Amino acid sequence: MAERMTVAPSPSLTVYKFGGASLEDAAAIRHAASLVARRLPAQTVVVTSALAGVTDALLDAARLAADGDGAQALAESAVLRDRHLSVIDELATGETRQHVRGIITEAFATLDQLLGEVLSAGALAPVMADRIVARGERLAARLFAAAMAEQGHTASVVDATELIRTDGRHGSATPDLKRSEPVARARIGHALRDTPVVLVPGFIGVADDGTVVTLGRGGSDLSATVLGRALQVDEVILWKDVPGVFTADPRAVADARVVAQLHVREAAEMAYYGARVLHPRALTPLTERMRVYVRPFAAPDRVGTEISMRRSRVRSPVKALSAMLDQALVTVSGNGMLGVPGVAARTFGALADAGISVSLISQASSEHSICLAVSEFSAGLAHDVLQDAFASEITLGDIEGIEVRRGTATIAVVGLGMAHTPGIAARVFGALAEKNINIVAIAQGSSELNISVVVDAADVETAQRAIHAAFRLQKLGGGTVSRTRYRDVILLGFGRIGRELVRHLPTARGTSPVRLRIVGIIDRHGFVFDPDGFSAQRLGALGTVKQRSGASVAEARGGEHATPVDALHRMAAHALTSPVLVDLAVGDTRAVVHAAVEHGMDVVLANKVPLAIDSTSARALFDEAQRHGRRVLHEATVGAGLPIIDTVRKLLESGDRVWSIEGCPSGTLGFLFSEMGRGRKFSEALRAAIKAGYTETDPRDDLSGQDVGRKAVILGRLIGFAGEFEDVSIESVVPESLRTVPLDEFLTRLEEADEEWKSRVGASRDRGEVLRYRVRATKHGVSVRLVSVPTGSALASLEGTDNQFTFTTARYLSNPLVITGPGAGPAVTAAGVLNDLLTLTGGT
């Protein structure tokens, strides 16, 4: 248990990536640094691209050297060096300036040496190209750190070669997520302990032989998502020079609009088919809980485009277009192909062996021909490879030949909604026919997520505009881009805590732009649901009905009867936005809570039962949540709004060991004993507690210690207690003779216990002590009992319904950490729940 807690991600940690266009000059870098600074004290991992144009310029210099023009190569190098030097001069002063100037000078001195080596080799090996370009992002990280320093913030730089392991393919390496994750998590976690901002150069990683590799052009997007996954963050933000992902490349289609949300598969499809806005593999590391945002660097308050695993409701089956330029179409055809086995398989096999990637495949159902698109650059090679592969068939005449048509482009029409909408292809063809554009080939992905058409390169822009207009994509985003982001909350139970929570939700937002809205309420008998969220007024009305009549929400307007589990399944069938189930019920809600996690919801618990009842299912809940990338938070289960669970977690996360937790986690019993200590009779004190609303309906639920026992088990499990609730020794303070009598009888016979309590309290006082109902939890055991403590002790000082917790840890050994404060009542319990909700939205 303790182990698992230590990997709990920090809620506020976010990954930012700044693209080259966003790091144009000193002013831009300063602006980028201020975006990071304004998140402080929240932690940020910042992935930097090279300054605008630097990667191209470095490659240029390298190619010049390879082509034998050493002088020109060195001249390019000098220009770049001076550009970096002038940026640092503008950004920083004093020591920082001198320090970074030194780094720049050295990086370019090494570059000049490398260019010399390329010159004498007469060729640019991929391993050398990677060494040369890697300095672009590394220097950007240094400049960024300097800009942070100038604004008074420290940031550390961790090189990506320490974090991102790859397959070692120079020029386009693929990160090895499995091996990179633990390393990156540990290394960055370590760095974050020192500074809240950690800078990592994007685009690069390391090969097994220790050499630096690059991840392919635009690869810093991928660096960001790899790190986001490793660090289990909820958000990765890619700051770019565009307002978001457009419905089409804005350079080709002037009235393209920003898409508010794209499913990962849609975005990946666009990227794969040439939308330069994202690296084609950038989305592979995405997890269920992660959202990637493409956001405008120039207008940082706009939300841009969300890319995530959720399916948003769309009005249009088509969401966007992208185009791949410089394509060639290769056709293998012949009358005899029908009889030749495995033509398709052999075609792709041969191309794959030659390292040629195929962007589109289309086979006529007659099997008369196979058509495929490859990049124009590899068209010649593709032709030769296929000619070889089918040499015998070509001799026999079964295959007529391999035809290559250059100068084409592939347009992909993308949208998940296409799968259920007939006639999409017809509309694409109609739109192109109207503009007299000839379609060279077509293909529809088997997923029906995409229809691709190949057209002549000369037609590609007109074709995109025609398709864009045919689907009225200019109406899709634009003015309707949603500025507000939500998290959908489902309440399980709607009693006093629920009503209290509802009162505070509208104003509680913390620092997060995300708003919480309640979309569903479930009680024992049914539910109410509105995917657009209930208004405060409606919630107020529902609360009043429940409070006055005790009726189920099923009886309310729009309510339905159902079991809680069914109600949850029904709600989960809708496209909810990052839903959270909040369990405010009493009793065994395990089935609903587990179902929520399986549906990919986060869970916030005030209800103790699911965590206290049996160890197997409590553990399963956390494990299951982790598998789905979800969180189970339960601050309100112990000490209401006091940060008890959070404190234990933070201690464990920071490497401390918690030996024991002691305390009085019951406001009710605390009140009772502090009143009796003041000389009040047991019966009077208890009646006052009942009147003030401090007790359960049957006060014996409090006095029996069952409720305290649950809290004790939860605390114990946080620090490694593996036992069951039954293993906890609980001392009941219900008078013997009144344990089994009916409630009303119990309430009338309270006085019978006064004498005994008077003498116990008195005996304690005579010893200079007071009675306290105390929990003690360690890894080895958990107990709940009435103890007599010296008046000078911390516990004795407890007043009224306040709770107190004492943590004895490796660090807080001789002087334990004590937390005291109000620990009972709906308002503070709701505060604990709210705090968990804000943690989930990154607002605390």
Six token digits for residue 79: 């220009």
Q: Does 839 interact with ligand ASP (rule: CB under 6 A)?
A: no
Q: Does 699 interact with Mg ion (rule: CB under 5 A)?
A: no
Q: Does 220 interact with ligand ASP (rule: CB under 6 A)?
A: yes
Q: How far apart, in whole angstroms, are the C-alpha atoms of residue 701 and residue 690?
A: 12
Closest among 773, 653, 770, 637 to 715, alpha carbons compared: 637
Q: Whose Cβ is closer to ligand ASP: residue 96's or residue 166's?
A: 166
Size of the site for ligand ASP (CB under 6 A): 13
- Choose among ligand ASP, Mg ion, ligand ADP, none what residue 55 binds, the Cβ cut-off being 5 to 8 Å by kind: ligand ASP
Of the ranges 211-219, 230-238, 303-311, 593-601, which one interacts with ligand ASP (CB under 6 A)? Answer: 211-219
Q: Whose Cβ is closer to Mg ion: residue 239's or residue 746's?
A: 239
Q: Whose Cβ is closer to ligand ASP: residue 196's or residue 202's?
A: 202
Instruction: Find the Cα–Cα–Cα–Cα dihedral 351, 357, 362, 368, rounded to 10°.
Output: -10
Q: Does 450 interact with ligand ASP (rule: CB under 6 A)?
A: no
Q: Whose Cβ is closer to ligand ADP: residue 270's or residue 424's?
A: 270
Q: Does 20 interact with ligand ASP (rule: CB under 6 A)?
A: yes
- Please report how close the Cβ of residue 17 comes to ligand ADP at its closest, in angstroms: 7
Q: Does 218 interact with ligand ASP (rule: CB under 6 A)?
A: yes
Q: How far apart, in whole angstroms, are the C-alpha atoms of residue 811 and residue 613?
A: 31
- Choose among ligand ADP, ligand ASP, Mg ion, none what residue 203 binds, the Cβ cut-off being 5 to 8 Å by kind: ligand ASP
Q: How many helices (H) and strands (E) does the chain have?
A: 28, 29
Binding string to ligand ASP for residues 189 to 208, with x set by CB under 6 A, is what? Answer: -------------xx-----
Of the ranges 212-220, 355-363, 647-655, 672-680, which one interacts with ligand ASP (CB under 6 A)? Answer: 212-220
Count of Cβ atoms closer than 10 Å to residue 571 Cβ: 22
Q: 221: left (phi > 0), else alpha (psi -120 to 50), else beta? A: alpha
Binding string to ligand ASP for residues 38 to 77, with x set by CB under 6 A, is what? Answer: -----------xx----x----------------------
- Choose among Mg ion, ligand ASP, ligand ADP, none what residue 543 binds, the Cβ cut-off being 5 to 8 Å by kind: none
Question: Helix or strand or coil: residue 623?
Answer: helix
- Choose among Mg ion, ligand ASP, ligand ADP, none what residue 149 binds, the Cβ cut-off being 5 to 8 Å by kind: none
Q: How far apart, in whole angstroms, are the C-alpha atoms of residue 476 and residue 714?
A: 49
Q: Whose Cβ is closer to ligand ADP: residue 21's or residue 183's?
A: 21
β-sheet bridge partners, residue 788: 771
Q: Whose Cβ is closer to Mg ion: residue 50's or residue 373's?
A: 50
Q: Does 280 interact with ligand ASP (rule: CB under 6 A)?
A: no
Q: Whose Cβ is closer to ligand ADP: residue 175's or residue 699's?
A: 175
Q: Residues 6 or more apart from 777 whose CB is under 8 A from it?
A: 660, 661, 662, 712, 713, 715, 716, 719, 721
Q: Which of 196, 205, 218, 296 binds Mg ion (CB under 5 A)?
A: 218
Cis check for the bond before 41: say yes or no (omega within 30 of 0).
yes
According to DSSP, the β-strands at 602-605 and 632-633 are parallel
Q: Whose Cβ is closer to Mg ion: residue 23's or residue 192's?
A: 23
Q: How far apart, in whole angstroms, are the C-alpha atoms of residue 327 and residue 373?
A: 6
Instruction: Note whether 577 and 486 are within 8 A (CB).
Output: yes
Please, what is the Cα angle at 315 between 254 and 271, to 5 degrees?
Answer: 50
Q: Is 711 a catalytic residue?
A: yes
- Please report how close the Cβ of residue 138 comes to ligand ADP at its closest, in angstroms: 16
According to DSSP, the β-strands at 782-790 and 769-778 are antiparallel
Size of the site for Mg ion (CB under 5 A): 1
Q: Does 233 interact with ligand ASP (rule: CB under 6 A)?
A: no
Q: Does 212 interact with ligand ASP (rule: CB under 6 A)?
A: no
Name the residues that contact ligand ADP, by CB under 6 A: 19-21, 49, 218, 240-242, 245-246, 248-251, 275-277
Checking 598-603 for CB contacts under 8 A at 24+ apart, the result is 598/624, 598/628, 599/568, 599/569, 599/572, 600/288, 600/628, 600/630, 601/490, 601/572, 601/630, 602/578, 602/630, 602/631, 602/632, 602/633, 602/840, 603/630, 603/631, 603/632, 603/633
Six token digits for residue 394: 């070509």
- Please report how close the Cβ of residue 240 comes to Mg ion at its closest, in angstroms: 7
Q: Does 228 interact with Mg ion (rule: CB under 5 A)?
A: no
* Alpha-carbon separation of residue 833 from 486, 602, 640, 664 (angstroms): 17, 13, 8, 20
Six token digits for residue 763: 């005996």
Q: How far apart, in whole angstroms, are the C-alpha atoms of residue 198 and residue 144?
A: 10
Among the options 17, 681, 711, 779, which is catalytic? 711
Q: Does 670 interact with ligand ASP (rule: CB under 6 A)?
A: no
Q: Does 136 interact with Mg ion (rule: CB under 5 A)?
A: no
- Choose among Mg ion, ligand ASP, ligand ADP, none what residue 219 binds, the Cβ cut-off being 5 to 8 Å by kind: ligand ASP
Concatenate the DSSP letters of all residues of 542-596 into one string. HHHHHHHH---GGGSTT-EE--HHHHHHHHHTS--SS-EEEE--SS--HHHHHHH
- Please report how close the Cβ of residue 121 comes to ligand ASP at its closest, in angstroms: 23
Q: How far apart, in whole angstroms, are the C-alpha atoms of residue 483 and residue 479?
A: 10
Binding string to ligand ASP for residues 799 to 828, with x set by CB under 6 A, is what? Answer: ------------------------------
Q: Does 842 interact with ligand ASP (rule: CB under 6 A)?
A: no
Q: Does 280 interact with Mg ion (rule: CB under 5 A)?
A: no
- Please report how close the Cβ of residue 27 comes to ligand ASP at its closest, in angstroms: 19
Q: Whose Cβ is closer to ligand ASP: residue 49's or residue 261's?
A: 49
Residues 589-608 that bind ligand ASP (CB under 6 A): none
Helix axes 54-66, 70-91, angle to 10 degrees: 160
Instruction: Give the number of residues written for the chain.
Output: 844
Interface with ligand ASP (CB under 6 A): 19-20, 49-50, 55, 136, 202-203, 217-221
Catalytic residues: 711
